[in-house]
Chains A and B, each alone.
Chain A
Amino acid sequence: MMSTTGHKTWPKLTSRDEFRFLVEQALKRSTGDHTLVALHDQHSGTTRFANNQIVQNVDTRRGSLSVTVAFGRRHGTAGTTDFTAGAVQETVTRATQIAHLSPDDPEYLPPVEPQPYLTPPTTRAETVAAGPARRLEYMNEAIGQCRMENLGAAGIVSSSIATVGVAASTGLFAHEERTDAQFSLTAQAGEATGWSAAAHRSIDHLRVQERTLTAIDKAKRGLEVRELPPGRYTVILEPAAVAGLWSSLLWMLDAKSYEKGTSAFSGKLGQLIVDKRLTLRNLPAHEDLLGIGFTADGLPTVASDWIADGVLTQLAYDRFTAKVRGIDKIPTLDAPCLSGRGSSLPTLQELIKATERAILVTNFWYIRTVNPTDLTLTGMTRDGTFLVENGAIVSAVKNFRFHESPLRVFNRIAAFTNPAEAITSETGKLLVPAMTLRDFNFSSVTRF
């Protein structure tokens, strides 16, 4: 329903006090045994370019509120993008109707009690202040560099600010501001492409110039391409490629599937699943990760080990399975960092220098599970695949399709670097090393 009253605070997003007011409105109107209110209010903009000019330039403000009402173990949820008093009341009423008509849910648990939260660095003032002009400035920088090299540029510059909240009739209340900025670029030299990307809470930390030069270098090296046959190769995976494989692994850590025997990890808790030099931690307070203060359930995020010295030590618990298993503090995985123990090389360049012969992979694309039982994945290399010989890149190679399981291939590590920032179009942000892996299975080659 449209309001004819002004919204003088716009584009300021729903503040802590305003969220508290909305929560009070909802709780006052709810007759449920328990009521949970969740807020997501976001202002975001993206400048998208291709062929060296803008193809989209967008700015969107979307606020949404959802209300879950429960009577005993019957629950229902309703959502709205309208924050007026009448709409909030209607949303509570609809959630109540749904709850009344729902069957008992044996796994329902009341909202959590008030929680203490970490205050990770989720927001940066420079990103809050960034608007279309700042995005254009970065885009111009990337396009300008590509034009100077007679290359085409396609990519995005985006920035967003969101306020997120969760509160409940138990007294639970959490609210925080989160900013996010992204840059990604595909430089094109005819058929050859080179890619680089960044995401950070701070728009000042996107390192646009450095990443643009990286994408340009890859595109230019791709002009001469040779075709190698499919087979097993030593590979050097850049951080984005490592992140693609690890993201698929992390998605499969669901505790309920583990319990039911429908997980690739079933029976592997406490066992060595990858090279014993590897450790995966969640680090919500890390400045270069996108950690958050609380989950959608209102639980605090926590710093924790998930894989310690190659051994699987945690699973991703829903609240019900955690309760059954007697897990008090549910581990979260909002800010993953993979690191290697022992001698590592400082940079990707050092890794290349130390390699006799390998395929260097910039990024993987369209990673999908082929066999969920052993976590065999497939996907394509993309935007910069090269042959390395005697410590140097000697040519580009046509893109490969791979078939590999992270559970096998991360037991064949030859070398690794320190963790570096990584994000792809198919993963969230992680800190992961670049790695040299032996006997990586490339099953076919494509036409370019």
Chain B
Amino acid sequence: MPAHPNPHQDELAELALKRVVASGAEYGDIRLLDSTTQSIRGEDRRIASIREAQDSGFGIRVLYHGAWGFAASSILSLEEAPRVAELAIEIAKGSASLASEKVKLADEPVHRDRVVTARRIDPFAVALENKTALLLETMEYLHRQPGIVRSSASLWARQDRKLFVSTEGSRLEFDLLAVNGDFDATAVHDSRFASRSFNTPHLRMGYELIDDANFLAEAPRIASQAVEKVKASTTKPGLYDLVLDPEHLSLTMHESCGHPSELDRVLGYEANYAGTSFLTTEKRGTFRYGSPHVNLVADNCEPKTLAATGYDDDGVACQQWDIVRDGIFVGYCTNREVAPIIGETRSRGSNRADSWGSVPIVRIANIGLEPGTATLDDLLADVKRGIYIEGHGSYSIDQRRYNFQFGGDAFWLIENGKRTHMVRDVIYHGITPEFWGSCDGVADQSHRRRYGFITCGKGQPGQSGWMTHAASHARFRNVNVIGGHVG
């Protein structure tokens, strides 16, 4: 399979970058991207939509006298490339006329490479009728459970074929694939309703991810738990020990560790939208973020994960580094622009754009919780009164990432070391370093699971970031649980 379907891509890139070099700009790059996305969505026992979209275009970034300009177009013509390049130069010159502090990029070796993410089964080659049959059958299984009134099921796949060329001489080709599937069931009881969902992680794999997920085996459990959930009793507010599953933790880590570790937020770039961060630069190396059990590692090299693309959109090679080590905050997610501002000589390679039409910005890496030594049973055994939480629910956090609140998809009461029955409307609230400071146990490698996000919102205009967060189950002591029906 070719890395990019456009036979004129190198000519187009050369035409554009020639203009950039001739302008006197100190740096420029071009990304040509051709994305194919297939989404199949089922709803209430029918296939509601099947859509396949081709999205192609290119974006040119120019750094002129220390200031950025960016222009992009979906018209992939040899006439359009120089016009867009000139526009990006003109915009950069406008920015430069007002720049008081000049952008200086961290050095990066020149790379010439081709990256193809692993896949065993091409999802676009799997017969459409097999996919729709799987979704219809899954929804039928869900509706066999009395009490289920609504269902949904979907499959999604995206292939990105990208070429990155910079004025420094880097030339990188990418063929990146990602796949995901999910379904949920909604039950009604006593004028209430509640849903339970099943999600494969978004991973850079082929359709084998869906085959291995075994929707039909999981559907009866999900349906039965949706009914159990809607009939469950509410929780009494108070302090509880929590045992959180890897899927649930992926969101907790994302919001309370991932975002505050983005250096552009720390430096104020997102002050008007996504917010800033409590992990200010003087805290690096000394601030106690969590208990000694908490080791949060960024790893953009782990195969099949969303941010493991070989290189980021600065052309920087993917890396692994610590964010929190033994509970102490030690590292940030950076790009070539912000890394030098805190004295780092190389970017961590976390600069990504969500399309050819977007400018790359600092993104959360694949941040995961390093496994500990316990088993899940060990974690539960030492809980007298607690709650075990699976999956994602409601979530909200302040713009500096201190005050957060999370729900979940399913909740079980833990009594005297045993998971007993489901409860509903569980919401827990905390302050980030206090919450992570209460972590007193993490399960071992055998419990480790990966979950990913493709809808992480940041930037103006808004962009969707992709990253994976892996974890084993973890236990947190004396967390403030409030009811979900307060007000």
Contacts and interface: CB of A to CB of B under 8 A. Distances in A.
B268 A57 contact: no
A136 interface: yes
Given A59-B72, A446-B403, A105 B128 contact: no
Contact of B6 (A1, A60, A79): A1
B321 to A, nearest CB: 24
Contact of B98 (A75, A136, A195, A409): A136
Interface stretch (B46-54, B379-387, B414-422): B46-54
A423 B272 CA distance: 14
A56 interface: yes
Interface string A356-370: 000000000111111
Contacts of B75: 3, 7, 10, 61, 63
Contacts of A25: none
Nearest to B186: A262
A379 interface: yes
B401 to A, nearest CB: 10
Interface in B245-300: 267-273, 275, 278
Contact of B402 (A1, A77, A404, A446): A446
B90 A132 contact: yes
Contacts of B78: 2, 4
Nearest to A8: B79
Contacts of A382: 398-399
A59 B267 CA distance: 24
Interface stretch (B208-216, B425-433, B465-473): B425-433
A117 interface: no
Contacts of A366: 396-399
Contacts of A370: 394, 405, 407, 427, 484-486
A415 interface: no
Interface string A46-67: 1010111111111111111010
A81 B396 contact: no
Interface string A399-442: 10101110011000000000000000100000000000000010
Nearest to A379: B396
B268 A154 contact: yes
B34 to A, nearest CB: 9
B357 A6 contact: no
B449 interface: no
A38 to B, nearest CB: 11
A3 B50 contact: no
A57 B132 CA distance: 43
Nearest to A155: B272
B271 A60 contact: no
Contact of B271 (A10, A44, A101, A154): A154
A365 B398 contact: yes
Nearest to B57: A81
Given A44-B461, A57-B68, A425 B73 contact: no
A374 interface: yes
B398 A57 contact: no
B485 A376 contact: yes
Given A59-B87, A132-B91, A446-B402, A3 B77 contact: yes
A158 interface: yes
B282 to A, nearest CB: 14
Contacts of B48: 105, 107
A91 B87 CA distance: 30
Contacts of A371: 425, 484-485
B77 A261 contact: no
Contacts of A5: 77, 79
A189 interface: no
B100 A53 contact: yes
Interface stretch (A180-188, A283-291, A322-330, A386-394): A180-188
A164 to B, nearest CB: 16
Given A55-B68, A368-B395, A376-B484, A6 B77 contact: yes
B150 interface: yes
B193 A54 contact: no
A51 B358 CA distance: 21
Contacts of B193: 261-262, 372-373
A407 B201 CA distance: 35
B396 A447 contact: no
Nearest to A78: B52
Contacts of B400: 446-448
A305 B188 CA distance: 30
B56 interface: yes
Contacts of B405: 370, 378, 401
A371 B269 CA distance: 33
Given A156-B460, A261-B188, A380-B396, A401 B272 contact: no
Contact of B188 (A58, A79, A102, A262): A262
Given A105-B48, A370-B484, A152 B68 contact: no
Contacts of B2: none
B429 A80 contact: no
Nearest to B149: A260
Interface centre among B51, B72, B74 (most CB of A within 10 A): B74
A169 interface: no
Give chain A's interface residue range (CB within 8 Å of chain B).
Answer: 35 or more
A211 to B, nearest CB: 12
B12 interface: yes
B359 A56 contact: yes
A185 B95 CA distance: 18
A405 B487 contact: yes
A367 B396 contact: yes
Given A57-B91, A102-B50, A4 B77 contact: yes
Interface centre among B48, B51, B75, B76 (most CB of A within 10 A): B75
Interface string A246-265: 00000000000000111000
Contacts of B24: none
B19 to A, nearest CB: 15
B70 A79 contact: no
Interface in B56-97: 56-57, 59, 67-80, 83, 87-88, 90-92, 94-95
B8 interface: yes
Contact of A54 (B44, B68, B88): B68
A266 B190 CA distance: 13
Contact of A380 (B70, B270, B398): B398
Interface string A205-240: 000000000000000000000000000000000000
B53 A66 contact: yes
B350 to A, nearest CB: 16
B77 to A, nearest CB: 5
Contacts of B429: 401, 443-444
B275 to A, nearest CB: 8
A50 B101 CA distance: 12
A328 to B, nearest CB: 23
B7 interface: yes
A140 interface: yes
A165 interface: no
Given A78-B53, A80-B54, A106-B46, A54 B98 contact: yes
B145 to A, nearest CB: 16
A401 B403 contact: yes
26 contacts: A5-B79, A10-B75, A44-B461, A57-B91, A57-B95, A58-B359, A59-B71, A60-B59, A60-B73, A77-B52, A80-B54, A82-B76, A102-B132, A105-B47, A154-B269, A262-B193, A365-B275, A374-B485, A380-B397, A380-B399, A401-B396, A441-B486, A446-B400, A446-B431, A447-B431, A448-B398
Given A48-B460, A50-B271, A53-B100, 9 more contacts: A4-B78, A5-B79, A59-B70, A59-B72, A64-B74, A81-B57, A262-B188, A376-B484, A403-B482
Interface of A: 1-7, 10, 44, 46, 48, 50-64, 66, 75-82, 87, 91, 94, 98, 101-103, 105-107, 132-133, 136, 139-140, 152, 154-156, 158, 184-186, 188, 193, 195, 260-262, 266, 365-374, 376, 378-380, 382, 399, 401, 403-405, 408-409, 425, 441, 443-448
- 4 nearest interchain CB pairs? A79-B53, A446-B403, A154-B271, A81-B74
